[in-house]
Chain A
Amino acid sequence: MIEIKSVSLVREGQRVLDSIDLLLPRGGLTALVGPNGAGKSTLLSLAARLLPLQDGSVTIDGLPVESTPGKLLAKKIAILRQDSGPPPRVSVRDMVGFGRFPHSGGRMTAQDRTMVEEALARFELEALANRSLDRLSGGQRQRVMVAMTYCQDTDYILLDEPLNNLDMYHARQLMLELRRLVDETGRTIVIVLHDINHASASADRIIAMKNGMIAADGTPETVMRTEVLEAIYGFRVPVIETNGMRLALQYASCAP
């Protein structure tokens, strides 16, 4: 269980997070949605000790993130952030293999290698395995990064907008794959999404943030409602129900 208790964060005089309390029990796919600048990525980074806590506390299965050794946490929780750095000249297989670092310490066992091959297969990367990362498209690189995060083999996986750069096919594949991971292996996945319909289709729980606070929290059925979405995004979003799924028609208000 990830336990976030009254976490606040001020950056350059601006309140980015305002006393967030959140419980994320083991298992399930949780989507984090909300407008730009709502504090979703910051919350994720704090939970995964990438940013120092200013106020409040975060524990993962009872381990406080700020005082637990990084090496131990790296076997519990993996996070994938968007990164702007230049892509290294490292092969896809090596890159995915770095996900094994917390376990192998750099000396890969046969078991580690099997895990890497399995990850390559799971995310449809076998054909690219020997290619250098700087020769891939942005979407391919994104999938490699997700595969590496998967390879870390942690109970908790936090993904910050992993659908960025992905086309419709690969976005769908990735969401299906994440769903399967949760259902088959009982992992806990928290994912920041911009497309609320992906959240509605795949997530068990949707948490909406706005202005550093939690604006809505519940199953897709309770969050995917016109009045709830209007409160979050500030405009009327019609919601329809089809095939037992609730879909937002945010484009409806774009037509003249």
Chain B
Amino acid sequence: MFVPAIPLHRRVVMSAGLCLALLVVASLAIGVEEISLSSTARSVPLADLLSISRLPRTLAAVLCGAGLAVAGQILQTLTRNRFVEPSTAGTAQSAALGILIVTLFLPAAGLGMKALVASICALAGTALFLSTAHRLPPEQPHLVPLFGMVYGGVVGAAVTYVAWQNDLLQYLDIWTNGEFSGVLRGRYELLFVAVVIVAVAMLIAERLTIMALGEAQATSLGIDYRRMTQIGLVLVSVMSALSVVVVGLIPFVGLVVPNLVSRLSGDNLRGTLPLTALGGAILVLASDIAGRIIRFPYEIPVGTVMGVIGPAVFLWFVLQERRDA
């Protein structure tokens, strides 16, 4: 199979970029408040509508999607398992636990404080997942995602219990089911950290690819495996925590996108990470737009849409994966 890898890859990236551009335009245009240049009798001026609501919403979806897809890719590298991502590794649920703790003990805290505590909790939860997952027998790769999903469920149950005891159940849905309809100017800017996270991931892409070969090989090539693992954990935790704090949990982005990209363009992250980020942005933005259209004028949260798309694609991956792989 002598496939000239680069040109195909470039074509894919270009079409993905075009696709994202179209979706951005669509996202700016679609909503309850109609946009048409001719109408003069509008309740909200066009410029305000765009700058206060539509643009922030679109940007938030793009940032979350790109960041979460890259976070999923990093987590898969650290676990050496394709079927792992922040919502199936306890990361997102631990972040929700962090928000819950802030809400309980520092009710007046702002978004920044919430993001900080959520990140710390997500880091602790993911570190526990990672160190435990490494003890599972490597010849049974399905055990890792299985453990991760149940572990996420256990942390989620703990969060639900605490929320229940403290009459915070109505907030729980906000954190555990991602939604962009509440995104307004001034309430989403934290998400720009995703740009930094994606950039750092691209800087260390070569190292991450080598780490996917295993600790021994990576160490032999002069990579400080432990420190890189710590950096990776921080990137994953901060990204997941930010998205949970600002818009709520969006599951399976980090699983679906990296797996599709790997099938299309392979695992050499230096080449593929930009595509992963683009793909994540496309998936989340498209899901958000779909959520706006399906039941117009009501909205279906992006977390619900991804909750259906994600497991369906995941199931397909699991069932058709080659037996020998």
Contact = CB atoms under 8 A, between A and B. Distances in A.
A and B touch in the complex (CB under 8 A): yes
A200 B318 CA distance: 47
A134 B219 CA distance: 22
A48 B139 CA distance: 25
Interface residues of B, number: 34
A101 B220 contact: no
B222 A70 contact: yes
Contacts of A143: none
Contacts of A131: 1-2
Contact of B221 (A45, A132, A152): A152
A98 B216 contact: no
Contacts of B212: 88
A89 to B, nearest CB: 4
A161 to B, nearest CB: 13
A86 B138 CA distance: 9
B22 to A, nearest CB: 29
Contact of A73 (B2, B3, B209, B222): B222
Interface in A189-216: none
Contact of B217 (A75, A83, A91, A102): A83
A121 interface: no
A48 B218 CA distance: 12
A70 B205 CA distance: 19
A85 interface: yes
Interface residues of A, number: 36
A79 B220 contact: yes
Contacts of A74: 220-223
B1 to A, nearest CB: 6
Given A48-B220, A84-B138, A88-B267, 10 more contacts: A49-B219, A74-B222, A77-B220, A83-B214, A83-B216, A85-B214, A86-B82, A102-B222, A130-B2, A152-B220
Interface of B: 1-5, 80, 82, 138-139, 141, 205-207, 209-210, 212-217, 219-224, 262-263, 266-268, 270, 325
Closest 10 CB pairs of A and B: A74-B222, A106-B206, A89-B266, A102-B222, A88-B267, A89-B267, A71-B222, A79-B220, A81-B216, A90-B268
